[in-house]
Amino acid sequence: MLGYALVGTRDLERARAFFDLVFAELGMARLHDAGHMTYWGGGFDRGAVGVCLPLDRNSATAGNGTMLAIAAPSREAIDTAHTVALASGGVDEGRPGVRAGEGASAFYAAYFRDLDGNKFSLFRIGES
């Protein structure tokens, strides 16, 4: 079970503003703020996603082949969060839609990159 995931940013205040908007659509609230990092989620016991300034003080870079996938409460939440991400400066990496399966095993997802190039998937398994 994943406890938390952390991605780097070059501008923490800009990243905080971006993720406050996007994660609100998924029911995720800020869990922890520190001088160099912030986490969002429904509680650390249910997993959290954070952004930070790199501790080595070098520029944050997006991982090649790295992607964080966040389970969403509904397809509508995915649609709205994806729209908010793009309207807030994120880059589309895949519009919302069913990727595989059908019915109870349907995999519905959308993909975007944040302001620092980190790739995210928002997904839901099931019919709604």
Superfamily of domain 4-54+66-125: 2,3-Dihydroxybiphenyl 1,2-Dioxygenase, domain 1 (3.10.180.10)
Separation CA 115–CA 18 (nearest Å) = 8
What does the pLDDT average to over 65-94? 97
What does the pLDDT average to over 34-51? 92
The whole-number pLDDT of residue 1 equals: 60
Q: 46: phi > 0 → left, psi -120 to 50 → alpha, else beta; which?
A: alpha
In the chain, the N- to C-terminal Cα span, in Å, equals: 24
C-alpha triplet 41, 52, 89: angle, nearest 5°: 80
Q: Is the pLDDT of residue 46 over 90?
A: no
How many secondary structure helices (H) and strands (E) does the chain include?
A: 2, 8
C-beta atoms surrounding 21 within 10 Å: 15
Domain ranges in the chain are 4-54+66-125
Tens digits of per-residue pLDDT, 6-26? Answer: 999 999 999 999 999 999 999
